[in-house]
Amino acid sequence: DAKTTQPPSMDCAEGRAANLPCNHSTISGNEYVYWYRQIHSQGPQYIIHGLKNNETNEMASLIITEDRKSSTLILPHATLRDTAVYYCIVRVASSSNTGKLIFGQGTTLQVKP
């Protein structure tokens, strides 16, 4: 699985959009970009994933660059409850994959009032 690089920490004002970047310059053509987050003292939570097209769900949007070497997770209206560590993970999604997630250090997002 490809390695990812994320800034260690970011701040965001409550109500504003939080844009969390991730670099994955060695991503392979069959690897997806996944985002998880871990709110303090809780288990990681799946947010969104994508291959090459931009994706949106009720939690967030995922913007993947055309060359797929980087992506941005967007929380459109951050709330205090979005304060968490956000993990960008790149991996193959197939029936032959073990499903193992390799977590890096992630980005600690602090949403401030």
CB 8, min distance to other proteins, A:
12
Residue closer to other proteins, measured from CB, 24 or 91: 91
The 8-class DSSP code of residue 5 comes to: B
Stretch that binds other proteins, among 11-19, 53-61, 63-71, 87-95 (CB under 8 A): 87-95
Q: Is 53 in the site for other proteins (CB under 8 A)?
A: no
Q: Is 46 in the site for other proteins (CB under 8 A)?
A: yes
Residue closer to other proteins, measured from CB, 2 or 14: 2
The separation between CA 11 and the C-alpha centre of its own chain, rounded to angstroms, equals 16
Kindly give, in sequence order, each residue whose CB lies less than 8 Å from that of residue 54, ignoring residues fewer than 6 positions away: 61, 62, 63, 64
DSSP, collapsed to helix, strand or coil, labels residue 49 as strand
Instruction: Give the one residue of 13, 17, 80, 101 binding other proteins; rule: CB under 8 A.
Output: 101
Kindly give, in sequence order, each residue whose CB lies less than 8 Å from that of residue 76, ignoring residues fewer than 6 positions away: 17, 60, 61
